[in-house]
Each structure stands twice: as C-alpha cells, then as structure tokens.
Amino acid sequence: MKPIYCFLISLCAFALGNNSYSQDNAATKSYPLLEGPYMGQKPPGMVAEPFAPGIISTEGWEIEGTFAPGMKEFYFTSDNGKGTPIIVTGFRQENNVWKKYIEFRRRGEVTFSPDGERMHMASGFKDRAGDGWSERKSLGPAFEAIRIMRLSASSNGTYVLDEARRNGDGVIRSSRLINGKREAPKPLGKEINSGRLTAHPFIAPDESYLIWDSVREGGFGASDLYISFRQKDGSWGPAINMGPKVNTDKGDTYASVTPDGKYILFNRRIDDEKDNTDIYWIDAKVIEILRSKQ
C-alpha cells in the first residue's frame, strides 16, 4: 500500500462510528490470559519489536496502540476487513490480569489527557464517568472545521493536532490555553510542517518534545517518525529523523510514549499486499540519545 493510500484510509476512517459503546460489545473476540505490566509483554530494548505478537499484532491491520495514564488500560484499533467498521478495543488490568472490557467504533484516533480523565478522539472527547466514559462531546467549531485525525494534549492543556488534507500535504497545528481561554489552532513552523503526509503528532506532557510522522527528503523511503525538541527560547528545534532503530522503508507512523515514559509505541507497515500493519515498541531511551545529539 502506498503512503498516500494509508493516509486516505485514515482520513476516511476517522469519520466512521457512532457514540454508542458498551461492555456487551467486548465479546466479539477472545484473548489469551495476559498477566503483569504492559499487557503481560516482555519490554523491548533498543531494537523495535512487535507488541504482543500473535495477540494484538497479527497478520491483519492493528494500529494506534496506547496505554492510558496509570498504565492499567490499553487501547488499540483494528480493521476486520471490507464492509466492517474500524473498531477500538480497550483492556483493563484487574487483579494483575488484563481483560477486554470495551469495543466501540473509531471516530478519531484515541489519545488521553496526561491526567487520564479525558479520552480525545479527533475533534471530540469523552470524560471519565464512574467506571466508564461519557458520551462523545465536541471541542467546538474551531476544531470541527479541521479534518483532525489525532489530537495530543500536554499537562498545561496545549493541544497539538493534525489536519488530513486530500492532497497529502498535512498540517500540524497547536492550540494553547491562555488565561483559561482556548486559542484557535495555529500551524506550527516549517521545522514541523515540511514534507508530505505530515500527521499524527504526540506532544510530551511537559512539552519538551514533539514526535510526528512525515515523508521527507533524506528519509527511509516512506513515512518516518521525526522528533523536535523545545529550545531554550521556547521555539521548536529542527526535525530529527528518529533513525534506523525506529524507521524502515515500509512506513513508520503514529508514535506515542507510554505514560510512565519508558517506551515508544508506533505503527509499522509490514506487508502492502496483505494490508498488514502492526504495533511496534522500543525503549524510549532513544529519545534521550537523540536529544544529546541535537
């Protein structure tokens, strides 16, 4: 699958879905017993590995793996084929055992506020309500007007979000909270918004770095993951390709750092003909290595 095709799938998929979900929907697929931290998986080192191979990362299309703050919930997105909705599946760890507890149609890529109380989904969100989540609410007209795939939030309430443009030239914007008021989303500078298929930002909770994916000259051939570090004057530094430990010629996208700061989860395209994309992870020490070289 060509990068532009992957991009358009994401654009189309974000519009799917409805606001209904329940634990009853979580019975469509069974999973083996998973115990311990990180969905029972042995953490990776400095070489990227599939996350939960044969369980979460299979021969199908599984993307957007993310842990909620507290590390007791894990969510990922999957596609069961033509004519079926794209589904987000959520697990919870109870008494050290991970159990699937929820499934709902994807309507924007799932991220979390750093305090874990809000689930962001493109231009909408859900807040925690008891043991579950509220109905999906809108962030407002300024955000609804943008074809957002992913929105990432910092501890200060800054939003960083993408825009899926049909010509493939995506734009990443930011929106700050200033004196309690939300500013309209503004495009970031050319350090971030260069290349094609620029999308899927992740901002560190302390806003010290920003990770996103893009197709750029000098990359590995498809979408690569890039990182920019906040400079002393508050600006964003140059885009740094995250290198061969993370990127391949197959397309590497949609990175997020686990809330404990230890690992990076991301998508990796495995096989175009079989439409196979998996979730990978790697030790987040790669971020500090890149920071030391900037």
For residues 256 and 202, the answer to whether their CB atoms sit within 8 Å is: yes
CATH number, residue 177: 2.120.10
Which residue range forms the structural domain that includes residue 18?
Answer: 3-293
Specify the 3-state DSSP secondary structure of 82.
coil
Structure-token pair, residue 60: 């199908």
Question: How far apart are the C-alpha atoms of 121 and 14, rounded to whole Å?
Answer: 9
> Would you place residue 126 in the very low, low, confident or very high pLDDT band (cuts 50, 70, 90)?
very high
Domain count across the chain: 1
Question: How far apart are the C-alpha atoms of 134 and 127, rounded to whole Å?
Answer: 5
Structure-token pair, residue 126: 């859900």
> Would you place residue 261 in the very low, low, confident or very high pLDDT band (cuts 50, 70, 90)?
very high
> Would you place residue 294 in the very low, low, confident or very high pLDDT band (cuts 50, 70, 90)?
confident
pLDDT in tens, 8-19: 444 444 433 433
What number is the average pLDDT over the span 143-164?
97
State pTM to two decimals.
0.91
pLDDT tops 70 at residue 7: no
pLDDT tops 90 at residue 179: yes
pLDDT of residue 80: 78
> Would you place residue 165 in the very low, low, confident or very high pLDDT band (cuts 50, 70, 90)?
confident
Average pLDDT, the chain: 90
